[in-house]
Structure 1
Amino acid sequence: MTFHYPNGKKFTSPKEKTKPGFKKMNQQAISYGKRGMTLEEDINETNQFYLAAGKAVIHKKPTPVQIVQVDYPKRSAAVIKEAYFKQASTTDYNGVYKGHYIDFEAKETRNKNSFPLQNFHEHQLAHMHQVVQHNGIAFVIIRFSSSEEIFLLPYSALQKYWDRMKKGGRKSMTKNEIMEDGHKIALSLQPRIDYLKIIDHLCDKTDDRNC
């Protein structure tokens, strides 16, 4: 079965990448892909810890798939031969914590001093805006791969820099801006990325039940 990403690029499984025939020219892309998956894996592991500890119920949203080719070798069976991963319609993760609806996106960059806003989409900002409008908590988790630094940036800060870009300003957030408006998350053993500690801090700081 063949899967494709929204841009048409073929999905290659980790098993296929280890085959002798996989070209060395893809090694750089593989390396970046693994780094790109690291943040997702760390957050998934963190969410499993939260769930097991009875602290929160937060999951990664499944990526929609569009099936384009199906074979029917038998009447009682269907085999998917080709499919495409659709562009996600909202954000990566959602769930509930202490009665709060949690919704966030996770992104990573190889840039050392800035984070490109092109990594986000208009519909994601619109979705987070709707979440906040209904007293939910929306934010993004950003990792700088080169330094392994991780930040939680509230939606309000992201929207500020998005609006600046839409008005003709710079197309990225500087690392200093993220450090100023965001909250650094230190890596730990369990949970790996304790982002709920930041949420607790924000709630205590604002003394707002809806944070």
Structure 2
Amino acid sequence: MAFNYPNGHSFNQKAFQKPIVSYGASQSNRGMSLEHDINEANKYYLATDQAVIHKKPTPVQIVNVSYPARAAAKITEAYFRQASTTDYNGIYRGYYIDFDAKETTHKRSFPLSNIHEHQVKHLKAIAKQKGLAFMIIRFTVLQETYVIWANLVFKYWDNRENGRKSIPYEEITKFGERVEQQFNPTTPYLQAVDKLLIQRKEEGDNLI
């Protein structure tokens, strides 16, 4: 089946296949992407009855369908559509959670250009309904991963026209919670969410 983008270009599966990177024991996890780590963590959380969190599928627009048999249909052409929300959602300890995961090679800030407007709008809607809206940000060069409430993103996003075009590293480390790597799962981000929830209660529901 042929997948195409809205501009007519064909989807190249090989372009999305990442090479296997080999590291020493102390760097064994550095070849893994943040998305991979979160997906593995979600499998662990589901298997251990801690949470039910899934990655949302990329929406596909079907263009052509053939019918090789009367009772069978075969999709012959389709397009990837831009996702309208965020990457992940689910239930954790009675909370509805919704979040996106981003990586950056920058060391001192997280560029707002890495975020799409529809993602911000969606997270604002979740936060308004008292859901847990947050982002997981990984500084790949520093090999540091943080969870931040979406409100910190809103603060800089809403002032981006007249202010900074990025969230300072110092702000992320101050208001966010670092995800400490461990054996299984390697990226236990819900531990960071727990710490942020405790802080929120102590600060009278002030998310940032």
Deviation at 1:203, TM superposition (A): 2.1
Of residues 96, 104, 107 in structure 1, which corresponds to 2:102?
107
Of residues 167, 182, 190 in structure 2, which corresponds to 1:196?
190
1:122 aligned residue: 117
Residue 86 in structure 1 maps to residue 81 in structure 2 = yes
Correspondence list, 1:1-211, <5 A: 1-5=1-5, 9-13=9-13, 17=14, 38-165=33-160, 167-207=161-201
**Higher mean Cα deviation, 134-143 or 123-132?**
123-132
For 2:6 and 2:92, how far apart are their aligned partners in 1?
A: 32
Deviation at 1:206, TM superposition (A): 2.8
For 2:164 and 2:95, how far apart are their aligned partners in 1?
A: 33
Closer/same/farther in 2, CA of residues 205 and 116 from structure 1, 3 Å limit: closer
Closer/same/farther in 2, CA of residues 37 and 86 from structure 1, 3 Å limit: farther
For 2:31 and 2:150, how far apart are their aligned partners in 1?
A: 22
Deviation at 1:160, TM superposition (A): 0.5
Closer/same/farther in 2, CA of residues 161 and 7 from structure 1, 3 Å limit: farther
Deviation at 1:11, TM superposition (A): 2.8
TM-score, reference length from structure 2: 0.82
For 1:36 and 1:108, how far apart are their aligned partners in 2?
A: 13
Bigger helix share: 1
**Higher mean Cα deviation, 173-182 or 124-133?**
173-182
Deviation at 1:5, TM superposition (A): 4.3
Q: What is the Cα-based RMSD across aligned positions, in Å? A: 2.7
1:22 aligned residue: none
Deviation at 1:52, TM superposition (A): 0.8
For 2:84 and 2:69, how far apart are their aligned partners in 1?
A: 34
Is the contact made by 1:115 and 1:173 (CA closer than 8 Å) also made in structure 2?
Answer: yes
For 1:86 and 1:37, how far apart are their aligned partners in 2?
A: 26
Deviation at 1:170, TM superposition (A): 2.4
Calculate percent identity across the aligned residue pairs. Answer: 51
Is the contact made by 2:177 and 2:196 (CA closer than 8 Å) also made in structure 1?
Answer: no
Closer/same/farther in 2, CA of residues 9 and 192 from structure 1, 3 Å limit: farther
For 1:176 and 1:206, how far apart are their aligned partners in 2?
A: 19
The SS at the match of 2:193 is: helix
Unpaired runs of 5+ in structure 1?
18-25
Show CA shifts across 1:22-69 (max 9, x none): xxxx7xx8659x999711111010011111111111111111111112
The SS at the match of 1:179 is: helix
TM-score, reference length from structure 1: 0.81
Is the contact made by 1:6 and 1:87 (CA closer than 8 Å) also made in structure 2?
Answer: no
Number of paired residues? Answer: 196
Is the contact made by 1:89 and 1:124 (CA closer than 8 Å) also made in structure 2?
Answer: yes
1:20 aligned residue: none
Is the contact made by 1:39 and 1:143 (CA closer than 8 Å) also made in structure 2?
Answer: yes
For 1:30 and 1:114, how far apart are their aligned partners in 2?
A: 28
